[in-house]
Structure 1
Amino acid sequence: MHTVSVLALDDVIAFDLATAVEVFSRVPLPDETNGYRVLVCAATPMVTAGPLRVGTEHGLDALAFADTIVIPGRNDVTTDVPADVIAALRRAYQRGARIASICSGAFTLAAAGLLDGRRATTHWVAADLFRDRYPAVELDPDVLYVDDGQILTSAGASAGLDLCLHMVQRDHGSSVAATAARLAVAPLHRSGGQAQFIVRNQLPANTIAAPNTLDAVLVWIEQNASAELTLADIASAGAMSIRTLNRRFQSEMGQSPMQWVTGVRVRHAQQLLESTAEGVEKIGRLVGFSSPANFREQFRRLTGVAPQTYRSTFRGRLVS
């Protein structure tokens, strides 16, 4: 039987840990047996999981014979990975075990050097920190998961469910995976990627304009994004030349002023798609896009899904 060892490090995210255990423990095969033997292992007999304490019966030796190893995330991604854990993961990789991470579990894989030169993902909130710490990894924060063969990584929370179901489908086919998905009350495949969950260009509620920064300009764009803005309009609002405006945006925001405006408009559209019953074309006009086609193109480019798909994902049925 295929053995899945779920590695519980101290400060493990309980949701990630439970996701792997529950998905692989509920994969009925046609002969009525379960598709996997699931073990939870740790370097110590007891680990913390937020407000919980999790006791494990298996030590790191369970990584030595596992067919698949799943690494849930940890709440504090800056915590060092124990040397014995790194060594055990490297040995498992060398013997050919499949290793998958959920959420910030990618930090553990990267600390072991198993993601160098590979495409990978993690929770979008931790993406910048991950890039800074592990520049040798080709990080893609917009996707739900990455399957690089022997090494797999997923984004945060429910993306771990997507990844686990994907591995079930790889191992046992679509029919068995579909049954596992129904037992988890989850779709076997979700439209789009992690990009649709990212809050873009979000200003703090208590933003205060300060001299010699873009704060005042960003607040002005937030309030006027629905208008037909030009670079001259934005520069005038910031009391600076267009050249200075472009230079400061590239330096401080990493993008052009109009790219920032598009991001604000898409975020405003997301809020309307979530909270109103207005038609997609009208929402595009309300937030400042020049045409329905341009709205749909820019929305899909930044979120990875069409506006109507986003609405179906994030908004429940209206109560009349």
Structure 2
Amino acid sequence: MSQDTSRNQDRIARTSLGTGGPEVGVQGLGCMGMSFAYGPTDAAEARATLERALELGVTLYDTADMYGMGENERFLAPFVSAHRDEITLATKFGIVLDPDDPAKRGVRNDRPYIRQCAEASLRRLGVDVIDLYYMHRRDVNVPIEETVGAMAELVEEGKVRQLGLSEVTGAELRAAHAEHPIAALQSEWSLFSRDVERTAVPAAADLGVAFVPYSPLGRGFLTGAFTDAGKDLTEDDFRRRMPRFTGENAEANAALLEPVRKVAGDRGITLGQTALAWVHQRAERYPGLSVVPIPGTRKRSRVEENTAATRIRLTDGELALLEPIADRVAGGRYADMAFTSAGRE
């Protein structure tokens, strides 16, 4: 077998990013950790990871203006320039950081701010158009129709191709979609986080909106990479501030990994592959729903592991073993759940 044939067999399948959306690999790449939030990073290895992901058929690359206050967009710019016609580029606006204290966050969705953010992202990324532009978080003081209307102006001007939303409820998605077609909804969805199944996922399936699960590996917890963020991770890792990853919550949640370990051990796969395979198969319960998880990594070996999970099928028995986990998780996804769809349902 030639090397080219072997590489083609490793490439992931493709799907459409929502009704009428571009065709992308069935798994994308979250790029945040390459320059923000998860402690020290190796820039050279992160660049090599971007290239390896593309070789494996990953074409949806996800960033945001708040990741390192623009640093992640600047980091991606050379890769984007080299492969512009091969990838679908997604970025976001809406979360406002305090330069003096990045732990402090606000939200803005007003028209002048949206335009300011879009122009800045275009400059940092070195592109003329953003393929998928997300509202990162909902500002409840601004009608969502007004926010989406402002985003739609960017589409009309050719600065953005398609619109996305993040962490909105089913009702909010329907209201937004009535104003302008929404291509994708991005929210946390994993073995540990299934609140989106109440209204957001069904609404996306009904409207033909793609669902883009972020943190499908529970920010690394589902891989067994750490058991207590307060003890195992560096001081600058923001997971140390997330309730479910520290103290008694972390201890309780670590015990929930036992069914994942059993499935992985019996199948000869990793915990992370088990968790990702679950996300891909869970989507099948919603007819017509296109799902493109975006596990984040900055290592080539991990992107190879993650993409291989798209070819794993869990049995009904294995799915039943994993089913109870989410209902038993201790602690919220964030200290302040008001920033999430679950906090508004």
- Tell whether the structures are fold-level matches, with TM greater than 0.5: no
- The answer to which structure, 1 or 2, has the higher relative contact order (CA under 8 A, 6+ apart) is 2
Computing the radius of gyration over CA atoms, which structure comes out larger, 1 or 2? 1
TM-score in terms of structure 1 length = 0.29
TM-score in terms of structure 2 length = 0.27
